[in-house]
């Protein structure tokens, strides 16, 4: 893989890093190179303490149309059945897991259609800010597949089982007014204000105590598979860690000195 990526663009503005999916001719369909470049970029962002908020968006009129279907056809060998599971395990699952577990806030700035694995990718992010003209399609059913890349996990948790079933069974396009009403997105903004509104929110998140945000993400992820007693104990353990951060000390000091805190993410 060359050093500078060819299917994504990476830009930094202070502590906010924006990764733009950049295959606009196919509405940013994921091919193998893009999935590799994305994974590498997210791992690098994870290690870089200067990055305190990660934003994903798409170039052109789409966010992502999911798996590149032309590449699927190339991969299929007529003599042998197509084995999609190993492709998912190798290419998508580690990326989705990394986004869910990276200890920094992750925003999907959804500029257009998010379909199939492109929808799953947006759902894996912590926050979704959508342009008015964006849409969400669990397109898998239209090509005879089951939702993957975490959609069957995230979707019912975000919008409830009945709505998730309907979206997944029918592949119906969900426009942003409905997406906002059912809790699929956090915010809908006019198309021409998406970049600005995302940047504003991302800067706000990047200024917060990043360690505490990372630990919060850990706690909420864990809550999905815990009982209350276990979760209470886990919160106590995480709070011990948070309580020993510089940002906790700064927060308390700033409060008592009646000034705004300056958090360093440590």
Q: Is residue 148 at the binding interface for ligand T3D, with CB under 6 A as the rule?
A: yes
Nearer to ligand T3D by Cβ, of 32 and 46: the residue is 32
Q: What is the DSSP letter of 258?
A: T
Cα–Cα nearest to 34, from 25, 21, 47: 21
Scan for tokens 């409905």, then name that residue.
178
Nearer to ligand T3D by Cβ, of 75 and 266: the residue is 75
Longest Cα separation, the chain: 73
Q: Is residue 72 at the binding interface for ligand T3D, with CB under 6 A as the rule?
A: yes
Q: Is residue 138 at the binding interface for ligand T3D, with CB under 6 A as the rule?
A: no
Q: Is residue 139 at the binding interface for ligand T3D, with CB under 6 A as the rule?
A: yes
3-state secondary structure 58-72: ECCCEEECCECHHHH
Q: Is residue 141 at the binding interface for ligand T3D, with CB under 6 A as the rule?
A: no
List the beta bridge partners of residue 54. Answer: 17, 106
How far lies 248's CA from each of 46, 119, 230, in Å?
21, 36, 24
Q: Is residue 90 at the binding interface for ligand T3D, with CB under 6 A as the rule?
A: no
Supply the Cα-derived Rg of the chain in whole angstroms. Answer: 19
Choices 68-76, 100-108, 208-216, 247-255; region in contact with ligand T3D by CB under 6 A: 68-76
Other beta carbons within 10 angstroms of residue 4's beta carbon come to 8
CA distance 13 to 163: 37
Choices 23-31, 153-161, 185-193, 225-233; region in contact with ligand T3D by CB under 6 A: 23-31
Letters for 26-55 (x = contact with ligand T3D by CB under 6 A, - = none) are xx-x--------------------------
Q: Is residue 121 at the binding interface for ligand T3D, with CB under 6 A as the rule?
A: no
CA distance 215 to 208: 13
Q: Is residue 145 at the binding interface for ligand T3D, with CB under 6 A as the rule?
A: yes
**Binder to ligand T3D among 7, 17, 20, 65 (CB under 6 A)?**
65
Residue 62 and residue 27 in contact, taking contact as beta carbons nearer than 8 Å? yes
Nearer to ligand T3D by Cβ, of 15 and 139: the residue is 139
Residues that bind ligand T3D (CB under 6 A): 26-27, 29, 65-70, 72, 84, 87-88, 113, 115-117, 137, 139-140, 142-143, 145, 148
């Amino acid at each position: 893989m060359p050093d500078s990526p060819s299917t994504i663009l990476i830009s930094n503005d202070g502590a906010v890093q924006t990764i733009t999916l950049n295959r606009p001719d196919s509405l940013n369909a994921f091919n193998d190179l893009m999935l590799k470049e994305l994974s590498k970029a997210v791992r690098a962002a994870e290690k870089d303490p200067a990055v305190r908020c990660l934003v994903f968006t798409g170039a052109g009129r789409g966010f992502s149309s999911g798996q590149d279907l032309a590449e699927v056809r190339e991969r299929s060998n007529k003599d042998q059945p197509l084995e999609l599971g190993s492709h998912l395990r190798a290419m998508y699952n580690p990326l989705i897991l990394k986004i869910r577990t990276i200890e920094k806030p992750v925003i999907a700035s959804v500029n257009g259609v998010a379909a199939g694995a492109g929808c799953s990718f947006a759902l894996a992010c912590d926050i979704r800010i959508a342009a008015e003209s964006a849409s969400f399609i669990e397109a898998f059913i239209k090509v005879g597949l089951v939702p993957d890349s975490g959609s069957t996990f995230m979707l019912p948790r975000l919008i409830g089982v009945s709505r998730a079933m309907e979206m997944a069974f029918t592949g119906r396009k969900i426009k942003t007014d409905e997406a906002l009403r059912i809790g699929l997105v956090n915010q809908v903004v006019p198309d021409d204000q998406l970049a600005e509104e995302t940047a504003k929110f991302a800067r706000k998140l990047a200024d917060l105590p990043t360690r505490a945000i990372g630990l919060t993400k850990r706690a909420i992820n864990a809550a999905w598979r815990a009982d209350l007693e276990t979760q209470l104990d886990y919160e106590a353990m995480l709070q011990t860690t948070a309580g020993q951060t510089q940002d906790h000390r700064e927060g308390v000091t700033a409060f008592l000195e009646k000034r705004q805190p300056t958090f360093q993410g440590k």
